[in-house]
Amino acid sequence: MELTISKKNFLRGLARTHAVADRKSSMPILSNILISTDGPGTLRFAATDLYLAVSATAEAKVTKGGTVAVGARTLFDIVKNLPEGEVTLTVGANHAAEIRCGKARYKVPGMPGEDFPALPSPGETKLIDLDVEVLGELIARTQYSMSTDDTRPHLAGTLFEGDGKMARMVTTDGHRLSKAERKLDGAMLNFTMLVPKKGVDELRRLIEDAKLDRAKGDDTPLVIGIGQAGGNAFFRREGVQLSVKLADEQFPPYAKVIPQQQEKRVIIARGPLMEALKRIALVASDKSGGVRLAVEPGKLKITSENPDVGEGSDELDVDYAGKPLTVGFNAKYLLDVLGALPDDEVALELSGELDPGVIKPAQHDGFVGVIMPMRI
Amino acid sequence: MRGILHVDMDAFYASVEQLDDPALRGKPVVVGSPSRRGVVCAASYEVRPFGVRSAMPMGEALRRAPQAIVVPPRMHRYAEISGQVFAIFHRFTPLVEGLSLDEAFLDVTGSRGLFGEPRAIAQQIKDAVRTELGLTCSAGVASCKFAAKIASDLQKPDGLVVVPEGIAEFLAELPIERMWGIGPKSSVRIRAAGYATIGDLARAQPSRLEALLGSWGRTIHALANGHDERDVIPDHDAKSVGGEVTFEHDVYTLEELEKPLLAQAQRVAERLVQTGTWGRTVTLKLKYGDFQSRTRQTQLEEPVCDTDSIYRAAHAQLARMPGLRRGVRLVGVTVSALSERSDDAPLLFPDPRIARGKRLEDVAAKLRERFGERMVTRAALLDEPSEQPEERPAGERGDEHDD
The pLDDT-based confidence of B342 (bands split at 50, 70, 90) is low
The pLDDT-based confidence of A84 (bands split at 50, 70, 90) is very high
The pLDDT-based confidence of B397 (bands split at 50, 70, 90) is very low
Distance CA A147, CA B348 (A): 13
Annotated active-site residue in B103, B373, B391, B400: B103
Distance CA B150, CA B163 (A): 9
Distance CA B280, CA A171 (A): 21
Residues 6+ apart with CB under 8 A from A107: A96, A97, A98, A99
Chain A interface mutation, best of B239, B301, B307, B310, highest count of A Cβ atoms under 10 Å: B301
Residue A233 Cα distances to A51, A134, A195, B238, angstroms: 11, 18, 8, 46
What are the start-end ranges of the E strands in A164-298? 166-172, 176-183, 190-196, 223-229, 232-237, 240-245, 264-269, 290-296
Q: What is the pLDDT of residue A165?
A: 86
Taking each helix axis from N to C end, the angle separating B118-128 and B75-92, rounded to the nearest 10 degrees, works out to 140
CB distance B345–A175 less than 8 Å?
A: yes
Question: Beta partners for B57?
Answer: B39
Question: Beta partners for A229?
Answer: A232
- Candidates B316, B323, B346; nearest CB to A150: B316
Nearest chain A alpha carbon to B350: A174
- Superfamily the domain B1-163 falls into: Reverse transcriptase/Diguanylate cyclase domain (3.30.70.270)
Q: Which residues of A73-99 are buried (b: 16+ CB within 10 A; e: fewer)?
A: ebbbebbeebeeeebebbbeeebebeb
Q: Which ranges of B301-350 does DSSP label H, i.e. alpha helix?
A: 307-318
Distance CA B186, CA B216 (A): 11
Distance CA A142, CA A227 (A): 21
Residues 6+ apart with CB under 8 A from A75: A14, A18, A33, A97, A108
To the nearest whole Å, the CA of A22 is away from the closest chain B CA by 11
Q: Which one-letter amino acid corresponds to residue B28?
A: P
A207 has a pLDDT exceeding 90: yes
Other Cβ atoms closer than 10 A to B36: 12
pLDDT digits (tens, 9 = 90+) for B276-297: 788 999 999 998 888 788 899 9
Other Cβ atoms closer than 10 A to B283: 21
Distance CA A185, CA A351 (A): 35
**What's the DSSP call for residue A236?**
E
Residues 6+ apart with CB under 8 A from B337: B279, B280, B281, B299, B303
Residue A216 Cα distances to A10, A79, A211, A225, B309, angstroms: 18, 22, 9, 21, 50
Q: What is the pLDDT of residue B166?
A: 87
Distance CA B41, CA B33 (A): 8
pLDDT digits (tens, 9 = 90+) for A35-47: 999 999 999 999 9
Distance CA A131, CA A116 (A): 33
- Is A122:A106 a contact under the CB 8 Å cutoff? no
The pLDDT-based confidence of B217 (bands split at 50, 70, 90) is confident
Distance CA B180, CA B34 (A): 30
Q: What is the pLDDT of residue B383?
A: 66
Among residues A349, A375, A376, A374, the alpha carbon closest in space to that of A362 is found at: A349
Distance CA B202, CA B105 (A): 24
CATH placement of domain B168-224: 1.10.150.20
Q: What is the pLDDT of residue B384?
A: 61
Kind and range of the H or E run holding A331: helix A331-340
Q: Please compute Rg for chain B using Cα positions.
A: 21
Residues 6+ apart with CB under 8 A from A301: A293, A294, A295, A313, A314, A315
CB distance B299–A330 less than 8 Å?
A: no
pLDDT digits (tens, 9 = 90+) for B122-142: 999 999 999 999 999 999 999
Q: What is the pLDDT of residue B186?
A: 81
By DSSP bridging, strand B29-32 and strand B137-142 are unpaired
* Phi and psi at residue B372, to the nearest 5°: 100, 165
CB distance B316–A372 less than 8 Å?
A: no
Q: What is the pLDDT of residue B54?
A: 82
- Is B219:B230 a contact under the CB 8 Å cutoff? no
CB distance A155–B343 less than 8 Å?
A: no
Whether residue B244 lies in the annotated active site: no
Averaged confidence pLDDT in chain B:
85
CB distance A151–B345 less than 8 Å?
A: no
Distance CA A52, CA B20 (A): 62
The pLDDT-based confidence of A276 (bands split at 50, 70, 90) is very high
To the nearest whole Å, the CA of B126 is away from the closest chain A CA by 40
pLDDT digits (tens, 9 = 90+) for A87-143: 999 998 899 999 999 999 999 999 999 999 999 999 998 888 888 999 999 999 999
Among residues B247, B359, B369, the alpha carbon closest in space to that of B309 is found at: B359
- Candidates B299, B313, B348; nearest CB to A372: B348
Nearest chain A alpha carbon to B314: A151
Q: What is the pLDDT of residue B130?
A: 96
The pLDDT-based confidence of B391 (bands split at 50, 70, 90) is very low
Other Cβ atoms closer than 10 A to A318: 20
Distance CA A62, CA A285 (A): 63
Q: Which residues of B71-105 are buried (b: 16+ CB within 10 A; e: fewer)?
A: bbbbbebbeebbeebeebbeebbebbbbbbbbbbb
Other Cβ atoms closer than 10 A to B353: 16
CATH class of this structure's domain B240-392:
alpha beta
- Is B100:B392 a contact under the CB 8 Å cutoff? yes
Averaged confidence pLDDT in chain A:
92
Distance CA B39, CA B61 (A): 9
* Phi and psi at residue B343, to the nearest 5°: -95, 30
The pLDDT-based confidence of B375 (bands split at 50, 70, 90) is low
**What's the DSSP call for residue B272?**
H
- Candidates B301, B342, B344; nearest CB to A175: B301
User: Which residue ranges make up each domain of chain B?
Assistant: 1-163, 168-224, 240-392
Distance CA A18, CA A301 (A): 50
For chain B, positions 336-375, list CB contacts with chain A under 8 A: 339, 342-351
Among residues B403, B402, B401, the alpha carbon closest in space to that of B181 is found at: B401
Q: Which one-letter amino acid corresponds to residue B302?
A: E
Average pLDDT over residues A213-223: 71
Residue of B377 and A316 predicted with greater confidence: A316
**pTM for the structure as a whole:** 0.70
- Candidates A148, A252, A288; nearest CB to B349: A252
Distance CA A16, CA A43 (A): 13
Cβ neighbours of B313 in A, within 8 Å? 151
Average pLDDT over residues B180-187: 78
Distance CA A222, CA A247 (A): 27
What's the CA angle centered on A16, arms A13 and A17, to 5 degrees?
90
Distance CA A319, CA A267 (A): 5
Q: Which ranges of B216-325 does DSSP label H, i.e. alpha helix?
A: 216-224, 254-275, 307-318
Among residues B328, B318, B181, the alpha carbon closest in space to that of B248 is found at: B328
Q: What is the pLDDT of residue A210?
A: 85
- Candidates B322, B344, B346; nearest CB to A24: B322
* Phi and psi at residue B262, to the nearest 5°: -60, -40
Other Cβ atoms closer than 10 A to A289: 17
To the nearest whole Å, the CA of B395 is away from the closest chain A CA by 23
For chain A, positions 253-272, list CB contacts with chain B under 8 A: 257
* Phi and psi at residue B391, to the nearest 5°: -140, 125
Nearest chain A alpha carbon to B298: A149
Average pLDDT over residues B142-150: 93
